[in-house]
Amino acid sequence: MSDRIAILLAGNKMTGDTRVIFNLAEGLIARGFEIDLLLASSAQFVLSDLSKQVNVIDLQTPVTARTSSMIKLLFPLLHYLRRVQPKTLISNLCFANAIVTLSKFLTFPAPKLVLVEHLALSTDEHDGEPHSKLLPLLIRVLYPHADAVISVSQQIGAELRSKYNLTNVLAIANAVVNSRLTEQAQSDLDHPWFASDEIPVFLGAGRFAAQKDFTTLIRAFSILRQEMPARLVILGDGALRSQLEAQIQSLGLQADVELPGFVYNPYQYMSRATAFVLSSRWEALPTVLIEAMACGCQVIATQCRSGVDEILSGGEFGQIVPIADPVAMAAAMKNSIQHPISPRLLKFRADDFSIEQAVDRYLEVI
């Protein structure tokens, strides 16, 4: 068996979780490991910035976030494990993790298996999101056979222990901050709203989905806009775009709110925005919040499960407001203008989520 480490990414979109997995792969390579990045399908991923030293393997098995779909992934994965025999397999995404655990029984020699949970698993938090009723049972039965289960936040780890009686769980924060992020934050941005600090500009980012609750952010901005000049940019795209556009029009905010779509380098915006606002109903460890802080940007976040308190240390490094409360959010936005936190302090806190620290912790497990 070689010293090679395989990292399985079963998702099919570029997300914050995808970025941290790429970061982890590159961080392990910097420590001298050979890394195979296994993708269920590479079609939707932007790989141009990924280090050429990462060996990308396309399993050519497009899957959806359902347990029945993930079973399709098991066969090409087994073929890879038997052929290459990596020392360690790190799997991401709860729907894949349960199925991947079966490889422990179907491969010899079996790799050390590390499962990473990026999501709070309470099904009542995932209204409107695809999930399997079998998943809790699969977690309870199969996860104990993994060598380690890593939760990206302390709260997710506590949930895994209490709800599923798992004893092999430890929390390791995501690998977020690196020199590339800093360089991208400093690159030029050709956008008239960010050319000066005369009018405050607030920033949101993410999928246009119910989880992100951009409707509350837009309502909060509307309240703030009645008191002072301000602008709002929401980066991203998704199924609710037309609904958000209709809301913006109904509130008469067309001149002050922009939805530019997916932006490859959001850090250009974060480093220049007055504040970044996370309006989500739920999260795990919201990477985008850490990224904004690493850019020296003020942050405002809802009290959503499960990583906001951990990142902001209960409000020391940013304002925390109730979920779906546009009045409280508007007040926090106004406060971020009047009483900003030092960008230097925010960057100092973001360094706790550096790639180096994450790799150190992973190596303790591996």
pLDDT in tens, 129-147: 445 577 788 889 999 999 9
- DSSP annotation of 78 reads H
Contact 269, 297 (CB under 8 A): no
Residue where a domain terminates, one of 139, 171, 203: 171
Is residue 73 assigned to a domain?
Answer: yes
Is residue 364 assigned to a domain?
Answer: no
Query: What is the distance between the alpha carbons of residues 246 and 234, in angstroms, rounded to a whole number?
Result: 15
Query: What is the distance between the alpha carbons of residues 86 and 112, in angstroms, rounded to a whole number?
Result: 9
Q: Residue 31 is part of which domain span?
A: 5-171
Residue 5, token pair as written in the block? 């480490």
Residue where a domain terminates, one of 171, 202, 229: 171
Query: What pLDDT, on a 0 to 100 scale, did the predictor assign at position 49?
Result: 74
pLDDT tens digit string along 303-357? 997 789 999 999 999 999 999 999 999 999 999 999 999 999 999 999 999 999 9
Residue where a domain terminates, one of 171, 195, 220: 171
Query: What pLDDT, on a 0 to 100 scale, did the predictor assign at position 127?
Result: 42
The alpha carbon of residue 48 and the mean position of all alpha carbons in its chain are separated, in whole angstroms, by: 19
Radius of gyration, CA atoms only, the chain: 21
Identify the CATH number of the domain in which residue 14 sits. 3.40.50.2000
Residue numbers of the chain with a pLDDT score lower than 70: 1-2, 11-14, 16, 43-44, 46, 63-69, 120-132
pTM: 0.88
Domain count, the chain: 2
Query: What pLDDT, on a 0 to 100 scale, did the predictor assign at position 343?
Result: 97
Is residue 366 assigned to a domain?
Answer: no
Cβ-in-10-Å burial (0-12, 13-18, 19+) of 249 comes to exposed
Contact 195, 187 (CB under 8 A): no
